Amino acid sequence: MPRRPRIIMPGVPIHIIQRGNNRQACFFADEDYQFYLDWVKEYSIATDCAIHAYVLMTNHVHLLLTPAEQCSAGDLMKRLGQRYVQYINRTYKRSGSLWEGRYRSCIAQQENYLLICQRYIELNPVRAGMVKQPGEYPWSSYRVNAQGEKSDFLNQHMVYLGLGDSRKQRELSYRKLFQQELSEGIIKEIRQFTNGNFVLGSDRFKKEISKALGRRVTLGKSGRPRKSKTPA
C-alpha cells in the first residue's frame, strides 16, 4: 500500500517526532545531545526551517518548526538523521539503522495550537517521570522560552512573541501557561494526529487545508460505510 504524502505547507508550523528503531535509545551521553543540537542549528539554517521548540528524549525527538519551502522539513530531517546516525555508529562502534523509518508529523494551526504543541513538547520529560518541572530537564527549549536561557538557533514564533511587549513579560506569560495541565484529550489528539500525518487545528482550518491540497487531512470515520438505501 503506498504511503500517504506528507501534509506540509510552507509557512505553516509542523510538529515532528522521530523515534529510535524499536524504541531503542538514540542518546547515550551528554555529548550526543549537544552534537544533535549543533546539527539542528546547522541544518535548520541550510534548509530554511525556523525551530520554535524541541525536546530530546532518550529514545525519540520532538521538533516544532516552520518550513519556508515545501521540501524544507524533509531536507532537514534527512540531513540531520544521516549525520547523527554516522556519528553514533562511529562513536559507539555499531552498525545498522538507528531511527524508526519515516519521521511522523502533523501541521498545526498557529493561532490555536502552536503554544499547546510547545507545551506538549516541553512537558515530555515531566510526563515520562524524568523530572518534576520542565525547567529541570536540560535538553529542551523550555529554559529558552520560559526562563530566558540563550539559544543561537531557536526562532520564537510570532504567536509566542505576542505574549508580551518585553522578553520578561513573554517569559512570565509563558510560564503561567504551564500552571494548567494539558488535558488527556488534547494529549491524545496531538499524538494521534502526529502519528497519522493529519492536521491539528479547528474544523475551519482543516477544511481550508483540505481544499488547498485537494485531499482528506483528517481521520476517517471508523467502521464500514453505510449502504445507501434505494426506494422499493
**Predicted pLDDT at 221:** 55
* pLDDT higher than 60, residue 2: no
Task: State the CATH class of domain 14-203.
Answer: alpha beta
Domain locations in the chain as residue ranges? 14-203
Amino acid letter at 167?
A: R
* pLDDT higher than 70, residue 220: no
Nearest alpha carbon to residue 23 among 128, 170, 169: 128
Q: How confident is residue 231, by pLDDT bands cut at 50, 70 and 90?
A: very low
- What is the rounded CA–CA span in Å between residue 71 and residue 202? 25
Cell of 84: 547523527
| pLDDT tens string 102-120 | 899 999 998 889 999 999 9
Question: What proportion of the chain, given as a percentage, has pLDDT over 70?
Answer: 93
SS3 sequence of the chain = CCCCCCCCCCCCCEEEEEEEHHHCCCCCCHHHHHHHHHHHHHHHHHHCEEEEEEEECCCEEEEEEEECCCCHHHHHHHHHHHHHHHHHHHHCCCCCCCECCCCEEEEECHHHHHHHHHHHHHCHHHHCCCCCCHHHCCCECHHHHHHCCCCCCECCCHHHHCCCCCHHHHHHHHHHHCCCCCCHHHHHHHHHHHHHCCEECCHHHHHHHHHHHCCCCCCCCCCCCCCCCCCC
Nearest alpha carbon to residue 161 among 151, 153, 149, 169: 169
* pLDDT higher than 50, residue 227: no
* pLDDT higher than 80, residue 5: no
**Predicted pLDDT at 95:** 87
Amino acid letter at 14?
A: I
| pLDDT tens string 159-185 | 999 999 999 999 999 999 999 999 999
- The angle subtended at Cα 201 by Cα 157 and Cα 105, nearest 5°, is 75
Longest alpha-carbon distance in the chain: 73
Q: How confident is residue 232, by pLDDT bands cut at 50, 70 and 90?
A: very low
Q: How many other CB atoms sit within 10 Å of the CB of residue 230?
A: 5
For the segment 47-74, the average pLDDT, to the nearest whole number, is 97
* pLDDT higher than 70, residue 228: no
- What is the rounded CA–CA span in Å between residue 201 and residue 111? 9
- What is the rounded CA–CA span in Å between residue 163 and residue 13? 18
| pLDDT tens string 180-197 | 999 999 999 999 999 988
Please give the mean pLDDT across all residues of the chain.
90
